[in-house]
Amino acid sequence: MGIYNFPGIIYATDGSKGSTGMGADFYRHDTKGGGCCRVGGGIRDGSSGRAEFAAACLALEDSLTHDQPIVVLADSEGLMTVASNWVGEGKDPLLRHSPDGDILARIIMVLHQKVSMGLFTMIIETRAHRGEFRNEKADRWADEGREDIDNVRWDGPGPHPTFSWTEEGVEHRCFMNKTRRTRVHLKVSELQLPLHKNYTSEFLNRADNSRDLLGKHGQDKTVPDRSKRRLLQSISHQFPCAKLLKLWGLRDSDECRLCKRLHPEVTPWPESLGYIQARCPALQKPRIAVHHGIWRELLTAISRNSVESHDDGKKKLYFPSVVSEDTHDEWTVCQILVHLGLFSGIKSLRADDTKFHARQVIVLTDEEITSFYSRRPDGVAFDDKDRHCVFLGFTRPMDSVTSSQEGDWVEKKELEKNVRYGMHIYFINHLIALHGRPWNCTQANFMVGARGSLKQTQFQDRLRLLGVTNSKARD
């Protein structure tokens, strides 16, 4: 660039930070001299970037002593980045957003003076410690500045408040930025939470409810904004259903319009979110399709990430229910018995079923016996080497709402699923013992709240049971 032939004065600046503090300096090529000072202030004992700001400011201040054009050689990328925010039309930066705003304010003031005087000023970034003569000269002056305790500048309070706190015996200091503001708001919210009794406080007080996963879902840029809004509406009980619209005074009736249209002779139920997602007969087919779609996606992901293997390298579990991403196969109890080697014919199976229930003082009709061994769990997994069979269950109950009649959501549905297939598992284990087969049959249920939450610890424990050992895959 021919800087050394510049018809004016060339300044080289440098700042340094060491165990004794921060130092700033400049070197002036025409006088072969310069100036330096010790730099105070800053957050967490300052940074080398703050010292670089101070060095540039010293050079600019010195340039006010003459009327020559100047070039400032600074080895600070941070200075150039911050300075660019103040160049050009339409810019409206704030000093309080800069951690070293006190020094930056002085730099801007000096530049304003030079512009008003019509003096040329150029700041060029140079690479540090690359053998550039003037930069090396400035570097030596910076070390002297650190030791100059009689000439300390910018040691007063900055333009923004500084917060300090002690954590595990260590004192921390920080100015207010976006991250700190978010943490302060979070802490204030935690302190205020016990004072409120509403849907939001109830949701936030609920333990082990996957709120961190919901947060990650909200941050996922691949998720459409519309889906995120619907989820937030569901969690916060703001979903625009008839029951809520009536409460807001936007509708005269909270009756389900679909039920009223299909069954005008029956008094319709109130249209709540739970009714739409779990009970409305008019939405039965789309509800089943969505339910199966969610389960199919979860089951496929479990099968793909179940990587736990035996000593010979073969995967422990395989999932015959997984056919493709578009369909899945629900095995009947009879098919499961065939795979376990416990099926010797329908007549024998019906006889074993009748004897088994008779021992429980239960008498079944022929139709009930057929229904018993035709029952289909949501999925099944086998470990043929360790002889382990796992019934898989899936349901989408409503999240717990104390002020609603919708009731508890995991404990109740967990019990229902266990009762639904408990007798079948008991029957299979009975046949295993009767025929001397080395198999064991258990059950694993997966509960996903209709409002997006789940019991995270329980959910992850069951993923581990199915061989999903990678924590990131479980998340």
Query: Do 20 and 104 sit in the same domain of this protein?
Result: yes
What mean pLDDT do residues 67-77 have?
86
15 touches 52 (CB < 8 A): yes
Closest CA to 424 of 459, 362, 377: 377
Query: Do 26 and 114 sit in the same domain of this protein?
Result: yes
pLDDT digits (tens, 9 = 90+) for 380-395: 999 999 999 999 998 8
445 belongs to a structural domain: yes
Query: Do 108 and 165 sit in the same domain of this protein?
Result: no
Query: Do 122 and 178 sit in the same domain of this protein?
Result: no
pLDDT digits (tens, 9 = 90+) for 96-115: 667 778 888 888 899 889 98
Query: Do 325 and 414 sit in the same domain of this protein?
Result: yes
pTM of the model: 0.60
pLDDT > 90? residue 183:
no
The more confident residue out of 132 and 310 is 310
Find the domain containing 144 and state its range.
3-153
Query: Do 94 and 66 sit in the same domain of this protein?
Result: yes
309 belongs to a structural domain: yes
470 belongs to a structural domain: yes
Query: Do 322 and 466 sit in the same domain of this protein?
Result: yes
pLDDT > 50? residue 406:
no
What mean pLDDT do residues 164-185 have?
77
Q: Give 160's pLDDT tier (boundaries 50, 70, 90).
A: low
Query: Do 18 and 140 sit in the same domain of this protein?
Result: yes
19 belongs to a structural domain: yes
The more confident residue out of 251 and 95 is 251
Lowest mean pLDDT among 327-336, 390-399, 417-426: 390-399
pLDDT > 50? residue 404:
no
278 belongs to a structural domain: no
Lowest mean pLDDT among 40-49, 205-214, 432-441: 40-49
Query: Do 187 and 87 sit in the same domain of this protein?
Result: no
Query: Do 360 and 461 sit in the same domain of this protein?
Result: yes
Query: Do 136 and 172 sit in the same domain of this protein?
Result: no
What mean pLDDT do residues 437-447 have?
90
Query: Do 312 and 446 sit in the same domain of this protein?
Result: yes
CATH number at residue 35: 3.30.420.10
What mean pLDDT do residues 455-468 have?
86
Q: Give 407's pLDDT tier (boundaries 50, 70, 90).
A: very low
359 belongs to a structural domain: yes
Counting the structural domains of the chain, the total is 3
